[in-house]
Amino acid sequence: MKHVFVVNPTAGKGKGLAAVREQVKDRPGCEILLPGSAQETVEMIRQRAEAAPEEELCFVACGGDGTVNAVANGVLSVDNACMTVFALGSGNDYIKVFGGKSRFTDVETILRAEPHPVDVLRVNDRWCVNAFHFGLDSAVAKTMNEVKEKAVIGGRNAYPTGVAKALIFSMRTPCSIRVDGEEFHSGDMLLCTVACGEYVGGSYRCAPRSILDDGLAEICLVKPVSRLRFLTLMNAYKTGQHLTDPRFTELIQYRRGRVIEVEGDPGFIVSLDGEVVEGTSFRAEVVPGRLRFAAADPPTNGWSAAAPVTAAGETV
C-alpha cells in the first residue's frame, strides 16, 4: 500500500508541512500532496487515484477535522483508496475514539495501521464523517471558524468562545425533524447532534454510545433551557453523561436511526464536521461501511457485531 500525505499547509500553526516532511522523507511508498483548498483536495485525490487504478492507496489527512472531512470526500469519490490521519489540528474530534492525537502523530504507527470499514453520513450532496449538528452547536461552529486563527480566543479556546457567543444569541432554534420516516421533533430546541463519531468541539462527547460501524447514527436533541441551567449541565454534557444523568431526563430526546430529515426556517444553519452550511432542508442518510479508515487501535466502543461490509458499503 502506498501512503499519500495530504497536507493542509496552514495546520499546526503553519508548521505542519515541516513536521510531515521530517517524518516522511526518504521513506519508500510515501508521497506528499499540497492542495490549496477543500475542493482542490478532492480533485487531487481523485486525479492521483485515477492515475494508477491498480494501486492500493491510503490518503493521510494531515491537519484537523476540516482536513479529515476534505480528504474523506476525496477518498469517497474513488474506489481504490482508504484514509487515515496525521493529527495536526487543535480539536481532532474524529480520532479521539481511536486513542486520540498521540496515536496519529507517529508515521511508523500510521503506516502499519489496518483499514476497517466505517459508516459515514450523506447529507444532501455532501459527505460527513463525524457529526452533523444544528442549533446551538452550529452557532458555536460558525463562531469557531471565525475566530480559530485569532490569539487568545482562537486555537484551543475557539470552542469555548463559540459557546459563550451562542449562549447570548442561539438558545432557541425552531425546526422539524423526522427519523426513518417518523416525526421526532417539531418546534424549538437548544441543539441536536446526528453523529457517527463521538466528539465535537475538541472535547465534548456528544454521542457516547456511538459505534463507528453499526449502520446507525446517534440522534440526540436537547430541549430549550435557561442559560443558568445550561451552565449547570454543561460539564455533564461535555463528559458524555447526558444520556444517564437524571437531570437530563426531561430534556433529552434520543434515538438511533438511518435517515434523518431536517426542516428549518430561512437562515437555518448546520455544521458538517465543523463546516457551516446554510439551508432550509437537509436529508442525512447513514451509508454503512462506505469509508475505509486505518487506525492502529480499535475504537474505544469497539467494532460492532454487524455483518461485514465491503468498501462500497454492501453487506457481504
Query: Is 316 inside a domain boundary?
Result: no
pTM beyond 0.75: yes
As a whole number, mean pLDDT of residues 114-143 equals 93
* Same domain assignment for residues 48 and 69: yes
* Same domain assignment for residues 74 and 145: no
pLDDT in tens, 277-314: 999 999 999 999 999 999 999 998 889 865 444 333 33
Task: Give the Cα separation of 198 and 207 in Å (integer).
Answer: 5
Query: Is 142 inside a domain boundary?
Result: yes
* Same domain assignment for residues 156 and 62: no
As a whole number, mean pLDDT of residues 159-171 equals 87
Worst-scoring range by mean pLDDT, 61-65, 87-91, 190-194? Answer: 87-91
What DSSP state is assigned to residue 245?
-
Which domain CATH number covers 158?
2.60.200.40
Query: Is 310 inside a domain boundary?
Result: no
Query: Is 304 inside a domain boundary?
Result: no
Tell me the three cell numbers of residue 187. 418546534
As a whole number, mean pLDDT of residues 249-274 equals 95
What DSSP state is assigned to residue 86?
E
Task: Give the Cα separation of 72 and 61 in Å (integer).
Answer: 8
Decide if pLDDT at 10 tops 70.
Answer: yes
Q: How many CA atoms lie within 13 A of 111 on its CB side?
A: 12
* Same domain assignment for residues 111 and 90: yes
* Residue 150: predicted pLDDT: 85
* Residue 305: predicted pLDDT: 65
Question: How, if at all, do strands 199-200 and 204-205 pair?
Answer: antiparallel
Range of the domain at 73: 2-119+289-295
pLDDT in tens, 206-244: 999 999 999 999 999 999 999 999 999 999 999 999 999
* Same domain assignment for residues 107 and 142: no
CB 202 within 8 A of CB 90: yes
* Residue 310: predicted pLDDT: 38
Worst-scoring range by mean pLDDT, 46-50, 193-197, 301-305? Answer: 301-305
* Same domain assignment for residues 134 and 113: no
